[in-house]
Chains A and B, each alone.
Chain A
Amino acid sequence: MTSRNSKRSDSSAPLSCAEFQQQLPDLFAAGHEGVADPNLTEHLKTCENCSALVRDLQYIADQARQLLEPTHEPSDNVWKKIQESLASDPTYVANTQKQ
């Protein structure tokens, strides 16, 4: 594969890698409806480098979802401080006493 980084002078000319990559933020944001432009599709089909880049970025976005599961736990001190602050709240105190 060769990179085509020259400036675009003709809209029917194949896209350069720079031109393709410039459109990636919008393409990713558009999701499934993203690729209406055949030039983009063609570039992605024929440019190994850009297709690898797109695959990697998509992979990163997919992997990010596993980070939603929490892995960190606050220290017990946090709850202690919350309780201390709430102790000055009359609603909280009244309800604690009821229980």
Chain B
Amino acid sequence: MEIQGLQMTEPKTGPGLFKRNPPIAGEAEAIERAKAGDAEAFSKLYALHKRRVYTLCLRMLGNVSEAEDMTQEAFLHLFRKIGSFRGESAFSTWLHRLTVNLVLMHLRKKGLQLVSLEETINPSEEDSPKRDFGSRDTQLAGSVDRVALERAVASLPPGYRMVFVLHDVEGFEHNEIAVMLECSTGNSKSQLHKARLKLRELLRQQEPTQQADLKEAAL
């Protein structure tokens, strides 16, 4: 959709994901060797992917200790399952999906096993984003740096954070997220929209603080 120079675009799967996860030099060879049980190749795969897997776990769980445990779990799982990787998707896409599934399984074991995520990922009323009818504020465009966004994402309610990370950061489609979270596609879309609204709110709150910090630094 393009209106007034604005594009409403969504990341696509297939070729889009490959662009987001381009092949890494030496990776294909390491995969083949790791499939044959080569310990050194497995260690290379760990070195190549540990930061992305760990960052993904950390964003989904919001806790260093749990994120490290899940990173360990993901690579152990990778070691056992790498034989089933057929190269139909980028290796990092496959590894990320494996990691996401493990993290979700972990979360369900922690207490979400009896109720569907569709119900439990909804945050409380006070965490919900406010509707925006008629309030004129400054626009965010151009004013948000990576650190500010990272901080805002970390303070999202878990359900919003999960869908936002999976869709907007990792590039999964709503239908894929719906399967992973065992919710409807509509629910995934709605959670993502609420997550973005909440982020907008959080980023706007951060703006005055950032400006005050800059003024203070200039003095």
Contact = CB atoms under 8 A, between A and B. Distances in A.
A8 interface: no
A53 B146 CA distance: 20
Nearest to B192: A25
Interface stretch (B109-117, B119-127, B166-174): B166-174
B168 to A, nearest CB: 4
A66 B153 CA distance: 13
Contact of A92 (B79, B164, B170): B79
Interface string A19-61: 0010011111111111100000100110011011111111111
Nearest to B150: A67
B76 A56 contact: no
A99 B39 CA distance: 8
B10 A28 contact: yes
B8 A54 contact: yes
Interface residues of A, number: 61
A33 B72 CA distance: 42
B55 A3 contact: no
A95 B38 contact: yes
A2 to B, nearest CB: 7
A49 B134 contact: yes
A89 interface: yes
Contacts of A10: none
Contacts of B144: 59-60, 63
B54 A31 contact: no
Contacts of B131: 18, 21
B50 A49 contact: no
B11 A65 contact: yes
B193 A60 contact: no
Interface of A: 1-3, 5, 17-18, 21, 24-35, 41, 44-45, 48-49, 51-61, 63-68, 70-75, 77-79, 81-82, 85-86, 89, 91-92, 94-96, 99
Given A67-B146, A71-B146, A92-B39, 14 more contacts: A24-B193, A27-B1, A32-B9, A44-B4, A49-B136, A57-B196, A58-B7, A59-B140, A60-B199, A63-B146, A66-B146, A70-B51, A70-B54, A79-B50
